Chain A
Amino acid sequence: MSSRITQLFDRLRPEGRKALIAYITAGDPAPERTPALVAALERGGADLIELGVPFSDPVADGPVIQRASSRAIAAGGSFARTLEIAREIRERSGIPILLFTYLNPMLRYGVERAARDARAAGVDGILLTDLSVEEAGASLQAFREAALDTVFLAAPTSTDRRMGLVAEYCRGFVYLVSRAGVTGEQDSISASLGPLIARARRATALPLAAGFGISTPAQARQVAEMAEGVVVGSAFVRMIEKLGGPELEPALEAFARELKTAMEAKQ
């Protein structure tokens, strides 16, 4: 049986539609609020949720997600708590969930246990920011046994040889890092994205999603013309940082809708 992630792209493809992938850090601003934030994103049109596990030393993230990680840890966020949050989300929604984590919190939890418990909690796939395909061997087997999709990053610096490796190890979709840099909003879409997508197409038939630096409806639309999925993270996380109260959920929902609407506008 194909995964929720694969089913999503299979469903969108014939309609010519693209997936809005929303990242938020699990536990920010508090673990008990995350399921409601995800529900708001889903109402606004998010198709897939990237649930970030907070980590003390997120080297691939810019300041916005670094601060989200700190807030989440301070509020009790962790790998284990993220799985509980996923379980709560799954109780009332079929939205695909991709766990987005640095390696160490998962190692500490135990790789096989993590794979098993993530699956049981309703998680559909896992992306490990600092796990290269070369080091993935042992954990990959655990994820496969638990029928979790594995998503790896490909970057503008990835050589064709590496692009081939990444494509080979990916299940569900391939995540393209749109530019050289850490996560965070940018004024414009990097010129490196187009060529990167072209190279990825030659390496794989899997759907492609692009992220890192996409934060406005216009940018989301621009990327949706090239890729099957558009990842927006820091822009949502910044709203969570700014709006602490009950106004947060409607704001996230409205912004997701704006992004989705822009992505689906006719040329």
Chain B
Amino acid sequence: MMQAPDSSGHFGPYGGRFVPEILMAPIEELEHAYLEARQDAAFQAELAHLLETFAGRPTPLYPARRLSEQLGGATIYLKREDLLHTGAHKINNSLGQALLARRMGKRRVIAETGAGQHGVATASACALLGLECVVYMGRVDMERQALNVSRMRLLGARVECVTIGSETLKDAISEAMRDWVTNVADTYYLLGSALGAHPYPMMVRDFQRVIGVEARRQMLEREGRLPDAVFACVGGGSNAIGVFHAFLGDAGVRLIGIEAGGRGAALGEHAARMAGGAPGVLQGCYSYLLQDGDGQVSLTHSVSAGLDYAMIGPEHAMLADQGRAEYVNATDQAALEAAVRLSRVEGIIPALESSHAVAEAIRRAPGAPGEIFLLNLSGRGDKDIGIYSDEIPELRGAAR
């Protein structure tokens, strides 16, 4: 299996470390602290203990029988990250990095959030460890994910409303970076996706890798063989790299990442970086980026706040170039329909982000009889009830 990233944080040509000089030494310090912690059995044991007792690992591998029967093709298994404490896979990474922040002696933690899941997970981890927590969130995202804003505040975090640019995740990251530059001595930046400057893409992947490691073992126990295909939605790509990584060496397992197809193929209407982007640098990282001819970063659209970002994580860019993983997209409409279907047929309300992966698995299953699909259900849909109520015709007006 390939070793990525290399020692300077590159996944093939992607990744790297593109930040103002003022952050370079702090990021080097972070890298050294993380590499030390990674080798430290006591650190790993404490993390494993919290993942089990606080977060609820291992998560079940659930055979979605009724859905599979209805589709009449592949057998679909759901990796139930939606059952984790705080409602999504994000807690895996937040716990790991919050422990690292404490180990580094940083008392103040800052984070960005799009859908609010990373913000809630980080606020929880900080409450657990007694760390101060400030979460940057775009105004648009605060409106569409209001429940998560309340959760963060209840957990003792301060939520900073970001009103620049598109007022979504990208702008929240910029503001968090500006905070970090200004308060670098006592502040830990707890980045939530497999993005940003090295070592973040590697570190976030390492903390999320548990998803695929568990799922692979569970699948072998249950079916006696590996899945034919693994599905995961991709915003920055933390849940996807988390579930993909344990399968990278299994040549027969297809890896399928699903980006946000939004409302259409025109620039600004989607967040399908692998379809409409070109390599560029944003917020510390070189990867596929939605941008115009002048190199200005494009606005993006997705009904799902967690996928609404202009860049894909650098390891995904490498896997795409290598042909090891494929990246497709699902529209807002397909995701909404998939959410309704999973809710009605399996009794599971998925997060809007995860619904994109559900949509693609539903599309492919009828043509894949005898195959086994593994779908990472990265989060639950409680936070999205307002959007579902507004966007799904038969619910419109009924729930509000």
Contacts and interface: CB of A to CB of B under 8 A. Distances in A.
A91 interface: no
Interface residues of B, number: 39
Contact of B20 (A109, A130, A134, A162): A130
A60 B174 CA distance: 9
A177 interface: yes
A59 B8 contact: no
Interface stretch (A41-49, A116-124, A150-158): A150-158
A59 B295 contact: no
A181 B165 contact: no
Nearest to B16: A135
B294 A78 contact: yes
B21 A152 contact: yes
A157 B19 CA distance: 13
A248 B282 CA distance: 34
B178 A59 contact: yes
B44 interface: no
A132 B283 contact: no
A200 to B, nearest CB: 12
Interface in A128-142: 129-132, 134-135
Contacts of B22: 60, 153, 155-158, 177, 180
Interface string A202-243: 000000000000000000000000000000000000000000
Chain B binding surface, main DSSP class: mixed
B297 A154 contact: no
A263 interface: no
A162 B27 CA distance: 12
Interface stretch (A9-17, A30-38, A98-106): A98-106
A37 B373 CA distance: 62
Given A60-B181, A104-B280, A80 B174 contact: no
Contacts of A39: none
B17 interface: yes
B20 A180 contact: no
Nearest to A128: B18
B178 A182 contact: yes
B20 A79 contact: no
Interface string B189-204: 0000000000000000
Contact of B280 (A58, A78, A108, A157): A108
A188 interface: no
A159 interface: yes
10 contacts: A55-B296, A56-B165, A62-B178, A103-B281, A108-B293, A109-B294, A158-B25, A162-B21, A162-B25, A180-B182
Interface of B: 8, 16-26, 28, 164-165, 170-171, 174, 177-178, 181-185, 278-284, 289, 291, 293-297
